[in-house]
Amino acid sequence: MSNSALPATLVGSKRRVRARHWRHSNLAGYLFISPWLIGYLLFALMPILASLMLSFTNYDVLGHNILRGDWDFVGLDNFEKMFYHDYRYWKSVKATLNYVVFAVPLRLMFALAVAMLLNTKRHGVYFYRAAYYTPSVVGGSVAVALMWREIFQRDGLVNNILGTEIYWFGNPDYAMWVLVTLAVWQFGSPMLVFLAGLRQIPQDMYEAASIDGANFFQRFWRITIPLLTPIIFFNLVMQTINGFQQFTQAFIVTGGRPLDRTLLYPLYVYNRGFVSFQMGYASAMAWVLLVTIAFFTLILFASSRLWVYYQGDEGKS
């Protein structure tokens, strides 16, 4: 560092060239990423291809050896059965879309509202943030799912507070709301992301707008929302992907009842694959899920050009 005999620029550039050269190393690179690469090949790529292949077979796991070939290719039979002859399949598709369409936007709206409420320098705001985040910390657990199931019983806490006698799990119109409210209740992670985004909006923008006579709603629609669109987009993508994969809560809280109204897709895949052991059929279902998630993600990305507003490049590193 203290080599002052050479011009600084020359030392710098030479060092940079050497550094770049030194940094390029295929062996070291692949060595370092090898845990992921091996894991990817064994536990992601291979299974994905295997499940594509399985979806064209009638394989079941009961006493059959896959290597010995105790299974047959059945062509598109699984898909045909799924799309044309399995009425439960469509019920589960409907339940899943219902769940995603309500749970994701409601959760995000709630998260944004709370984030705006907590975006203040008042005393005690850290305490509130912790309290509002608590349901999300414990929310993925079986314990909370069990609790949720019990508070929605006919003689449970929710009916008691509302003064109603709704049979939440027996009524086909209400059961989904038990799962949706549970999802909305866990708004913590998107809330924290929104909160970080709100902090980045320069305060003087609001002040300038106020001086120009903009009221709260105008400031919200013209400043907050446009500047938050990249974060709304991020949250929307992540939450949509997660929404399609909800399993534990549906399994514990409703188990798909009543009349398969809450039979979320992953739950049905599990039932077919690990309860009825129709692994070929379940693989076909899983592949449709993969394509569906990819499709919705692509749609969101394609639509982002129309509504996501990126502020110049200054903020980017």
Partner 1 sequence: MTTKAIPKSTGITLTRRQRRLLNAVLYHFFVGLVGIAMVYPILWMVSASFKETADIWQNISSIWPKSLHLENYSNGWKGFGGISFTTFYKNSFIYSGFGTLFQVASSAVVAYGFARIEFSGKRICFALMLSTMMLPDQVRMIPQYILFNELGWVNSFAPLLVPRLGGAAFFIFMIIQFIRGIPTELDEAAMIDGCGKAGIFFRIILPQLTPAMITAAIFSFYWTWDDFMTPLIYLNSPKMYTVSVALRAFSDRGGGGATDWGAIFAMSTLSLLPVFIIFVAFQRYLVEGISTTGLKG
* Chain residues 54-73 in contact with partner 1, contact rule CB under 8 A: 54, 61, 65-67
Among residues 6, 17, 37, 208, the one that binds partner 1 under rule CB under 8 A: 37
User: Among 72-80, 96-104, 154-162, 170-178, which window interacts with partner 1 (CB under 8 A)?
Assistant: 154-162
CB 246 within 8 A of CB 99: yes
Q: Residue 154 or residue 172: which is nearer to partner 1 going by CB?
A: 154
Length of the chain: 317
Minimum CB separation from partner 1 for residue 151, in Å? 6
Q: Does 89 bind partner 1 (CB under 8 A)?
A: no
Among residues 146, 208, 259, 299, the one that binds partner 1 under rule CB under 8 A: 146
Q: What angle do CA 268, 270, 275 make, to 5 degrees?
A: 105
Site for partner 1 in 164-203 (CB under 8 A): 185, 189, 192-193, 195-197, 200
Type and span of the H or E element at 187: none
Residue 251 is encoded by which pair of tokens?
């399994």
Q: Does 224 bind partner 1 (CB under 8 A)?
A: no
Minimum CB separation from partner 1 for residue 307, in Å? 18
Taken in order 221, 227, 229, 235, the sign of the CA dihedral is negative
CB 82 within 8 A of CB 281: yes
Minimum CB separation from partner 1 for residue 192, in Å? 4
Total Cβ atoms within 10 A of residue 257: 14
CB 236 within 8 A of CB 106: no
| Count of positions on this chain that bind partner 1 (CB under 8 A) | 103
Minimum CB separation from partner 1 for residue 18, in Å? 8
> How far is it, in rounded angstroms, from Cα 31 to Cα 20?
19
Range 64-91 burial, b when 16+ CB lie within 10 A, else e: eeeeeeebeebeebbbeebeeebeebeb
Site for partner 1 in 232-271 (CB under 8 A): 234-235, 238, 241, 244-245, 247-248, 251-252, 265-266, 269-270
Q: Residue 76 or residue 113: which is nearer to partner 1 going by CB?
A: 113
User: Among 97-105, 151-159, 218-226, 302-310, which window interacts with partner 1 (CB under 8 A)?
Assistant: 151-159
